[in-house]
Amino acid sequence: MPRSVLAAELAGLITARAERCGLVGLFFDYDGTLVDIVPRPEDARAPESLRQALGNLARLPRVRLAIVTGRSLASLRELAGPLPGCVVAANGGFHLQGADGDWIHPGVEPLVPLLQAHASALARVVDQHPGTQLEDKELSLSVHFRRAPEARDALDEAVRECVQATPGLFRVLEGKAIFEIQPAIDWDKGKALDLLCDRWHVSESAVFFGDDRIDEPAFVAVRARGGLGCHVGVTDSESAAELQIATVAEMRALIARLGTRLA
């Protein structure tokens, strides 16, 4: 189980690594990490204070910053704004955008037509369950049931039927009241984190923050580099994250502290 820390202690740990290594790589999931999870995903808007705090961090010379999210790039930009200096690894890491340009994993695009067929089939199922929601993210799909938990089993069956209809091409991930359909490619949030760490030349000064089982590959990857993984929200489950911070509010307090400590 991850060890609980407060913002002040964690800011000290990260600052020490930055001083030792010269650079620090900060990687944040979005929903449940930077913003609270809300019933409707389109309502998870970053407040202006958070946007400013992240922008301040991203401008610091010894900080490299990325948001690693299951959301589409368009959705993240709509909810969080442009965030200059911040790399976005969207669609679970399959789509990267930053100062070096736009990159989509080459194995994904050939699967988009099949993914759209799955979206059409799942839309018909979602229509039968009020309160559920299909999110078409172009390179992946999400099916939300936070407002209709009783529909979970029916959606689980429908999602897996879709995937089984195209054997070996897609995988299903389950998170907090959500099913994700992603290309079954050897790529995930952890691989995206590794790519950016190599690009930025950071290892033990890499820090990843996430809140869900879907974030575990990134926790594993950052730990393998000697960096830090921090789970957002108190958990008693097994996790590759070494640390945990209690709430999104405490995370925002940490970001504000880091903006001062790393300046």
* Domain residue spans of the chain: 3-105+187-261, 109-183
Average pLDDT for 122-137:
97
- d(CA 146, CA 39) in angstroms, rounded, equals 6
pLDDT score of 185? 97
Question: Is the confidence at residue 100, as pLDDT, over 90?
Answer: no
Using a pLDDT cut of 90, give the percent of the chain over it.
Answer: 97
- d(CA 233, CA 235) in angstroms, rounded, equals 6
pLDDT score of 108? 96
Question: Is the confidence at residue 99, as pLDDT, over 90?
Answer: no
Mean pLDDT rounded to a whole number for the chain: 96
CATH number of 109-183: 3.30.70.1020
pLDDT score of 248? 98
pLDDT band with cut points at 50, 70 and 90 for residue 92: very high
- d(CA 125, CA 112) in angstroms, rounded, equals 20
How big, in percent rounded to 5, are the helix, strand and coil portions of the chain? Answer: 45, 25, 35
Question: Is the confidence at residue 200, as pLDDT, over 90?
Answer: yes
pLDDT band with cut points at 50, 70 and 90 for residue 237: confident
- d(CA 223, CA 244) in angstroms, rounded, equals 14
pLDDT band with cut points at 50, 70 and 90 for residue 54: very high
Question: Is the confidence at residue 28, as pLDDT, over 90?
Answer: yes
Amino acid at 136: D
- d(CA 137, CA 72) in angstroms, rounded, equals 5
Question: Is the confidence at residue 253, as pLDDT, over 90?
Answer: yes
Contacts of 99 (CB under 8 A, 6+ apart): 85, 87
**Domain 3-105+187-261 in CATH 3.40.50.1000:** yes
Average pLDDT for 175-204:
97
Average pLDDT for 130-142:
97
Nearest residue to 176 via CA among 221, 235, 254:
235
Question: Is the confidence at residue 236, as pLDDT, over 90?
Answer: no
Q: Find tokens 């789970």 and name the residue.
A: 231
Give the global pTM. 0.97
Residue 214's CB is within 10 A of a number of other CB atoms, namely 20
SS3 158: helix
